[in-house]
């Protein structure tokens, strides 16, 4: 009964206030829902990450702004136990494939786990973040970036590939 009274009170608002209330609810709901990015599987045959979010990117190609850091968050299930984890990144542009060297603190994926810590167990649900610098000297090119999480023996636990382009702000 109380809900019905409150709902009728809402619909009795002046139409401009009612539209504003509906818009406000829609904006809050859309801001709290984060859409995962559809990424590609990797050529190395590693298990694909179950969820990938890249800041400012909802569909490929993702724009990587020169002079900024690109934040990524990924979820995966550990296919085996691992004592340590490391990010490896490979970029392909203009037909050339080369490793993308991350600063050591960012490459150590154990530093960026959420809700768990290294060592990890087989079957464990893992959430990890990565902040990748896009240096101001990078050329304005289209590229494919492959991000892997590997253990101390370079065995891949998960991987994803994303189409991107380097742009100016």
- Residues 130/72, Cβ–Cβ less than 8 Å: yes
From the list 56, 59, 52, 58, the residue with the least C-alpha distance to 74 is 52
pLDDT band at 9 (very low <50, low <70, confident <90, very high): very low
- Give residue-wise pLDDT tens across range 117-169: 999 999 999 999 999 999 999 999 999 999 999 999 999 999 999 999 999 98
The pLDDT of residue 17 is above 50: no
What is the DSSP-derived secondary structure letter of residue 112?
Answer: G
Instruction: State how far the Cα of 131 lies from the Cα of 70, in Å rounded to an integer.
Output: 6
pLDDT attached to residue 36: 84
Exposed/middle/buried for residue 135 (C-beta within 10 Å: 0-12, 13-18, 19+): exposed
pLDDT attached to residue 44: 82
Arithmetic mean of pLDDT, 101-123: 95
Residues in a beta bridge with 161: 40, 146
Instruction: State how far the Cα of 25 lies from the Cα of 14, in Å rounded to an integer.
Output: 17
Secondary-structure class of domain 51-167 per CATH: mainly beta
What is the DSSP-derived secondary structure letter of residue 101?
Answer: P
Length of the chain: 169
pLDDT attached to residue 43: 85
pLDDT band at 88 (very low <50, low <70, confident <90, very high): very high
The pLDDT of residue 1 is above 70: no
- Residues 84/118, Cβ–Cβ less than 8 Å: yes
The pLDDT of residue 23 is above 70: no
pLDDT band at 30 (very low <50, low <70, confident <90, very high): very low
C-alpha R_g of the chain: 21
What dihedral do alpha carbons 142, 144, 145, 150 form, nearest 10°?
A: -170
Give the domain ranges of the chain. Answer: 51-167
Instruction: State how far the Cα of 70 lies from the Cα of 13, in Å rounded to an integer.
Output: 44
Arithmetic mean of pLDDT, 17-40: 45
Arithmetic mean of pLDDT, 103-120: 95
């Amino acid at each position: 009964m109380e809900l019905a009274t409150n709902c009728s009170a809402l619909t009795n608002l002046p139409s401009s206030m009612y539209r504003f209330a509906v818009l406000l609810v829609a904006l809050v709901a859309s801001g709290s829902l984060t859409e995962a990015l559809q990424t590609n599987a990797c050529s190395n045959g590693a298990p694909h990450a179950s969820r990938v979010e890249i800041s400012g990117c909802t569909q490929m190609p993702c724009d990587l702004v020169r002079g900024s850091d690109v934040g990524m968050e990924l979820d995966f299930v550990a296919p085996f136990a691992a004592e340590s984890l490391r990010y490896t990144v490979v970029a392909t542009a203009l037909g050339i494939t080369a490793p993308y060297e991350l600063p050591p603190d960012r490459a150590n994926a154990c530093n960026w786990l959420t809700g768990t810590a290294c060592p990890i167990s087989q079957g464990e649900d893992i959430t990890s973040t990565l902040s990748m610098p896009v240096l101001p000297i990078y050329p304005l090119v289209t590229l494919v970036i492959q991000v892997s999480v590997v253990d101390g023996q370079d065995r891949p636990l998960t991987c994803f590939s994303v189409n991107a382009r380097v742009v100016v702000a």
